[in-house]
Amino acid sequence: MSDEIDNKQSIQAQSSETMNQYSGSAAADIDYVRPAEIPEQDLYHGHSFITKWVFCQDAKVIGVQYFLTAVFTGVVGLILSWLMRLQLGFPGLAGFMTAEHYYQFVTMHGMIMVVYFLTALFLGGFGNYLIPLMVGARDMVFPYVNMISFWMFFIAVAVLMASFFVPGGPTGSGWTLYPPQAILEGTPGSGMGILLMLVSLSLFVIGFTMGGLNYLITILQARTRGMTLMRMPLTVWGIFTATVLAMLAFPALLVSSIMMTLDKVLGTSFFMPTILKAGEVLEYGGGSPILFQHLFWFFGHPEVYIVALPAFGIVSDLISVHARKNIFGYRMMVWAIVGIGALSFFVWAHHMYVSGMNPWFGFFFATTTLIIAVPTAMKVYNWIITLWRGNIRINTVMLWCLGFIVTFVNGGITGIFLGNVSVDVPLSDTYFVVAHFHMVMGIAPLMVIMGAVYHWFPLVAGRMLHEGLGKWHFWITFLGAYSIYFPMHYLGFIGVPRRYFEMYDSPYMTSAIGMNEFISLAAFIVGAAQFILIFNIIKTLKTGKPAGKNPWKANSLEWHTSTVPPEHGNFGDRLPVVHRWPYDFSVPGAKEDFIPQTTPPSEVVHTEVEKT
């Protein structure tokens, strides 16, 4: 069935290389890396089109599959946001738009962007593609399970999209799906819509669990020789910690989905209190709606970091490579990622300050929330210090990174406002909140995704994306995003509530009308600008400049594969042996301004390398 890759133990070959060069035992000693603990991975090579490209077990192809599916859902989410902005900026212009439609679009936009776009893109897309390459593994540890994981995700997306076409349309209960209204008549899509949403989420969780197990075990148990945890690129650290969060947070989503499905289908009352509707008492009674909110946010808050942590990791690598400088405070960065991840399980109810929960919780959650600002701020300082006196290349990738830092700081500062109970209460459910979370977990991670696409596209496709188009793409997106979200803060301060279909004739909101029109126009432009990237990709695939090997002169293992783009098995005959961290840029005394991770110490004897 499957071919075995020749089991060549690379130890003899590797040490003989160094022996030849230096022919001394001292050189061999400092280059020594202990032999492989685990036997060569037994890989299944597909032979037909179906096993190679459809039900493929190669993590790289699965990563691209995840990426494309996520981008498809992302485009759907983008179109939904256009429709929402059309209604908000120019009420009544789109004739078909009713309040019901608006709520459905809000809901689907939120759910698609957070779960099916960002999570799938970072963990499924970048995770699958980069983890095995960066830690020096042939593939994920269980390629078959990995393949099933993608197809579960695909089915979940299909079910989600199907909900647009069922009677009543998709659910319109807001992306948080709060009961009791989510499953009661009167809410759009309270029939099949919500049911398909819950089924889709459950499928997503099951599929993601399979993928997540793979990512974790690959990182923990399948690293190459010499690759310690503290020599991994921060990208891997970010994805790793985010996956841990996902493995521990998605259960809460699964449980709340199952319970709400039972409430809907069987008529149980887990989340349903006694409800008086048009003078009649419904059959529900005795349940606890706030329990759903707790379960949902026990998932929901770690979910924010599931999106943010991979972005933190990736941006650290991009900044380091394109500023030709080692990342400042690598260990601090790692511990900050881990610390943010751990803390994220103790802050969830800061989304619920106005929900009527136990009032004492405000103290607890405000404190933990503000503590989380400490490691986050440390990361921001470290990015800036990394840039300081670096050999910065202002290319598209770097522009996206700089855009990320600014946007993230902006969103982070409004987060401090919202983390305090007394400040949050008046700002709750206003556009201030919308501006905050779009800045911090919408635009900021998106900037990193864009940067990462421009950075790793040469690896995936072997061709460089067009720089000029990339810069246009960046500047329109960056300036446009600020035109959208800066005014929203102000809208929040004057008290414009979020999730309202229209502002009607509220006299004190006249200043909001012009601003809403402006925001909408900016949103149309920014949305359209994203198609520059798609055009750029298509153009590059046809006529792009060949990238060659390692176009960015990066150190990490993914650029040092036997072929570009890497084939199945990643590293050819022999797995690489790692001698250093991936951040040896501009090392004093070195011949070139980068020292790849695979370079043994004996080749860089007269340089001041970091000891890692």
Partner 1 sequence: MSEQKIADYEFKPGFTGMAKDTGSDQTMFKGVHWGKAMMWIFLLSDTFVFSCFLISYMKGRASTTVEWPYPSEVFALTVFGVSVPLLLIAIMTFVLITSSGTMALAVKYGYEKNRKMCGWLVLATAIGGLTFVGMQAFEWSKLIHEGVRPWENPFGAAQFGSYFFMITGFHGTHVSIGVIFLFIYAYKVFAGHYDTQKRGWFTTMKGDYVEIEILGLYWHFVDLVWVFIFAFFYLW
Partner 2 sequence: MEEIKKKEEQTTTHKIGIYLWIWGLLFVLSFFSYMVDWYEFQGLLRWSLILFFMFLKAGLIMAFFMHLFWERYALVNVLLWPMTAIACFIGLMAAEGKYTVFTRFFYFFVGGQ
- Residue 532, CA distances (Å) to 14, 434, 477, 519, 545 in order: 45, 26, 10, 21, 18
* Residue 335 interacting with partner 2 (CB under 8 A): no
Sole window of 33-41, 376-384, 539-547, 581-589 interacting with partner 1 (rule: CB under 8 A): 33-41
* Residue 105 interacting with partner 1 (CB under 8 A): no
Which is closer to partner 2, CB of 161 or CB of 349? 349
Decide if 287 contacts 269 (C-beta within 8 A).
yes
Which is closer to partner 1, CB of 288 or CB of 586? 288
DSSP letter at 281 equals E
Nearest to 445 by CA among 567, 584, 340, 309: 309
DSSP letter at 4 equals P
Choose, by CB under 8 A, the member of 87, 269, 414, 602 that binds partner 1.
269
The 127-166 contact track toward partner 1, x by CB under 8 A, reads --------------xx-xx---------------------
* Residue 342 interacting with partner 1 (CB under 8 A): no
Choose, by CB under 8 A, the member of 50, 217, 281, 538 that binds partner 1.
217
Of residues 249 through 308, those in contact with partner 2 by CB under 8 A are 288, 290-291, 294, 298
Chain centre to alpha carbon of residue 474: 19
The pair of three-digit structure tokens given for residue 212, joined into one six-digit string: 């997540």
> Rounded to whole angstroms, how far apart are CA atoms 485 and 431?
9
Minimum CB–partner distance for residue 33 and partner 1 (Å): 7
> Rounded to whole angstroms, how far apart are CA atoms 163 and 193?
5
Interhelix angle 192-221/234-265, rounded to 10 degrees, is 150
Of residues 548 through 607, those in contact with partner 1 by CB under 8 A are 578
Choose, by CB under 8 A, the member of 131, 213, 397, 446 that binds partner 1.
213
DSSP letter at 442 equals I
> Rounded to whole angstroms, how far apart are CA atoms 24 and 31?
11
* Residue-wise burial string across 286-306, b where 16 or more C-beta atoms lie within 10 A, e elsewhere: ebebbebbbbbbbbbbbbbbb
Which is closer to partner 2, CB of 252 or CB of 488? 252
Which is closer to partner 1, CB of 159 or CB of 213? 213
- How large is the greatest C-alpha to C-alpha distance in the chain, in angstroms? 93
* Residue 286 interacting with partner 1 (CB under 8 A): yes
* Residue 198 interacting with partner 1 (CB under 8 A): no
Which is closer to partner 1, CB of 170 or CB of 576? 576
> Rounded to whole angstroms, how far apart are CA atoms 159 and 382?
42
Sole window of 192-200, 218-226, 384-392, 540-548 interacting with partner 1 (rule: CB under 8 A): 218-226
Which is closer to partner 2, CB of 51 or CB of 355? 355
Which is closer to partner 1, CB of 303 or CB of 424? 303
Minimum CB–partner distance for residue 300 and partner 2 (Å): 14
Decide if 440 contacts 381 (C-beta within 8 A).
no
> Rounded to whole angstroms, how far apart are CA atoms 502 and 89?
9
Which is closer to partner 1, CB of 35 or CB of 514? 35
Choose, by CB under 8 A, the member of 26, 266, 276, 278 that binds partner 1.
266
Sole window of 45-53, 353-361, 416-424, 427-435 interacting with partner 2 (rule: CB under 8 A): 353-361
The pair of three-digit structure tokens given for residue 511, joined into one six-digit string: 């200043």
DSSP letter at 496 equals P
* Residue 252 interacting with partner 1 (CB under 8 A): yes
Nearest to 60 by CA among 576, 568, 574: 568
* Residue 96 interacting with partner 2 (CB under 8 A): no
Residue type for position 448: V
Q: Binding partner of residue 382 among partner 1, partner 2, none, CB under 5 to 8 Å per kind?
A: none
DSSP letter at 585 equals B
Sole window of 68-76, 162-170, 213-221, 517-525 interacting with partner 1 (rule: CB under 8 A): 213-221
> Rounded to whole angstroms, how far apart are CA atoms 176 and 297?
9
Choose, by CB under 8 A, the member of 25, 358, 422, 543 that binds partner 2.
358
For residue 10, how many other CB atoms are within 10 A of its CB? 19
Q: Binding partner of residue 356 among partner 2, partner 1, none, CB under 5 to 8 Å per kind?
A: partner 2
* Residue 213 interacting with partner 2 (CB under 8 A): no
| Element holding 202 (H helix, E strand) | helix 192-221
Which is closer to partner 1, CB of 161 or CB of 177? 177
Q: What are phi and psi of 281, to 5 degrees?
A: -85, 125
Q: What are phi and psi of 133, to 5 degrees?
A: -65, -40
Minimum CB–partner distance for residue 31 and partner 1 (Å): 14
Minimum CB–partner distance for residue 5 and partner 1 (Å): 14
**Inter-residue long-range contacts of 386-392, CB under 8 Å, 24+ positions, other chains counted:** 386/316, 386/319, 386/320, 386/323, 386/325, 386/326, 386/327, 386/328, 387/319, 387/323, 387/325, 389/325, 390/323, 390/324, 390/325, 391/323, 391/324, 391/325, 391/586, 391/593, 392/322, 392/323, 392/324
Minimum CB–partner distance for residue 303 and partner 2 (Å): 14
* Residue 291 interacting with partner 1 (CB under 8 A): yes
* Residue 258 interacting with partner 1 (CB under 8 A): yes
* Residue 34 interacting with partner 1 (CB under 8 A): yes
Sole window of 14-22, 342-350, 380-388, 585-593 interacting with partner 2 (rule: CB under 8 A): 342-350
Choose, by CB under 8 A, the member of 247, 342, 378, 421 that binds partner 1.
247
Which is closer to partner 1, CB of 181 or CB of 268? 268
Q: Binding partner of residue 259 among partner 2, partner 1, none, CB under 5 to 8 Å per kind?
A: partner 1
Contact set with partner 2 (CB under 8 A): 248, 288, 290-291, 294, 298, 345-346, 349, 356-358, 360-361, 364
Contact set with partner 1 (CB under 8 A): 1-2, 33-38, 42, 44, 141-142, 144-145, 209, 212-214, 216-217, 220-231, 247-252, 254-256, 258-259, 262, 266-270, 283, 285-288, 291, 294-295, 298, 578
